[in-house]
Amino acid sequence: MLRFLTAGESHGKGLVTIIDNFPAGVKIDEDFINEKLKIRQSGYGRGARQKIETDKIEFLSGVRGGFTTGSPISFFIKNKDYDNWRDRMDAYKPVPEESKIHTPRPGHADFAGSIKFGLDDIRNVLERSSARETASRVAVGAICQIFLKNFGIEFASAVLSIGGVGIDKSRGSELNSDPLAGYSASVIDLFDPSIRRNIENSELRMPYSYLEEKTKAYIDKMKAEGDTVGGLITAQVKGVPVGLGSFTQWDEKLDAHISMSVMSIQAIKSVEIGAGVKSAYLKGSECHDSIYCGNSKNGAATGFFRKTDNAGGIEGGMSNGEIISVTCAMKPIPTLMKPYLDTVDLNTCEPKKAFLERSDVCAVPAASIVVESALAFSICYFFLKKFGGDGLAEIKRNYEGYLKK
């Protein structure tokens, strides 16, 4: 069963990741992985940390001669900023009392983590719970994408809105006062060449360039106010064969696994598949995607197809062959540059203001590539479960045999 583990702290020596049960014979494109890592570090509204780090993957095992060997893959991503934190993050040197943190930031893992583990220094929580860990997940997702490319499966992601400035995912238009207006999740096609170019050329990874300056101005306003801002992210995958996942058990459902993968990303607060919450406001005749067979509207032979995709490519916990579409909401980062939020000292219960830690004003564009990576892992997990084998050649035989039936 495909799985991965990550380890490391935000200001420690680096991040270590192990991927287990990944097939042999997959040619690894290191540049592709590093490009995804670069996207994670980019985006308008990021903080000073990104000027220090230049994330690159360093394989420690499981790759030889440019191909995976079938052994566990392990890799390291170095934290250059560790040099500035060496005294505070040393594995053996005692932590001075004056450097310990006792005031949790509302909205962060600080409070619950400190109580859960009985810690007297919140830094022991914030270092691991930091979104720095997502660098590992982006690399894992990139490795999964490299494998899935062998089967014509492609991924894309974009930012739909930041702080309410952006587009309604259902109409490809600016957000309006009615958040439930429209419902089709398939209007924005992230694989459309012009949309893809816009995303690649945008500092915000937004699909429509006319929203760029307006959104940047809003981020600048939040920065001037010492505040932070979240947004809406979408990720899509096309080329997924029918039948990944299952209806037979609750934990075998593809959409359930995708939701877990995406929700586990730091600061994500909601996940929708296809039309998502808007499905609750529709009649069945409006919501469900009619099935056709034969030729599509442009005359190309397609077999089974849909004209809408409100299901987001998943029905009954299984892929149905359409584009799988995921939308999620990222909350504002809880570290603010001005002391807006009330908190308390965990040792004394004395009222305090939340402490400051170097952070971002907006990390939504960076998070979009993390969401894409989480989606890639879930698809890869179920793809290998369906067409499993120890090496790429064996998996290809299984896959081709399934398509012929």
pTM above 0.85, yes or no: yes
Question: What CA–CA distances, in Å, run from 138 to 34, 38, 131?
Answer: 9, 10, 11
- Residue whose token pair is 């992985």: 33
Residue 296, number of CB atoms within 10 A of its CB: 13
Give the pair of three-digit tokens for residue 188: 């924005």
Of 347, 348, 359, whose CA–CA distance to 108 is shortest? 359
User: Can you state the angle between helices 254-263 and 364-387, rounded to 10 degrees?
Assistant: 150
Domain 3-404 indexed as CATH 3.40.50.720: no
CB 202, CB 209: distance < 8 Å: yes
Q: Is 146 helix (H, G, I), strand (E, B) or coil?
A: helix
Tokens of 263: 């929700």
Q: Residue-wise pLDDT tens for the chain (405 aa)? A: 999 999 999 999 999 999 999 999 999 999 999 999 999 998 888 765 556 678 999 999 999 999 999 999 999 999 998 998 998 899 999 998 888 999 999 999 999 999 999 999 999 999 999 999 999 999 999 999 999 999 999 999 999 999 988 875 544 445 444 444 433 344 689 999 999 999 999 999 999 988 999 999 999 999 999 999 999 999 999 999 999 999 999 999 999 999 999 999 999 999 999 999 999 999 999 999 999 998 655 444 458 999 999 999 999 999 999 999 999 999 999 999 888 999 999 999 999 999 777 778 999 999 999 999 999 999 999 999 999 999 999 999 999 999 986
User: Residue 298 is encoded by which pair of tokens?
Assistant: 């442009």
CA–CA gap between residue 326 and residue 137 (Å, rounded): 17
Distances (CA, A) of 306 to 181, 275, 300, 313: 22, 15, 14, 10
Dmax over Cα atoms in the chain, in whole Å?
A: 72
Residues near 232 by Cβ (< 8 Å), separated by ≥ 6? 159, 160, 161, 166, 169, 327, 328, 329, 330
Confidence at residue 317, expressed as pLDDT on a 0 to 100 scale = 98
Q: Residue 274, by phi and psi: left (phi above 0), alpha (psi -120 to 50) or beta?
A: left
- Contact present, 288 and 343 (Cβ < 8 Å): no
Q: What angle do CA 91, 98, 332 make, to 5 degrees?
A: 80
Euclidean distance between the first and the last CA atom of the chain, given in angstroms as a whole number: 25
Give the strands of the sheet with 58-61, arranged side by side: 3-7, 14-20, 73-78, 58-61
Give CA angle at 75 (78, 138), nearest 5°. Answer: 80
33 burial via Cβ count (<10 Å: 0-12, 13-18, 19+) = buried
CA separation for the pair 63, 19 (Å, rounded): 11
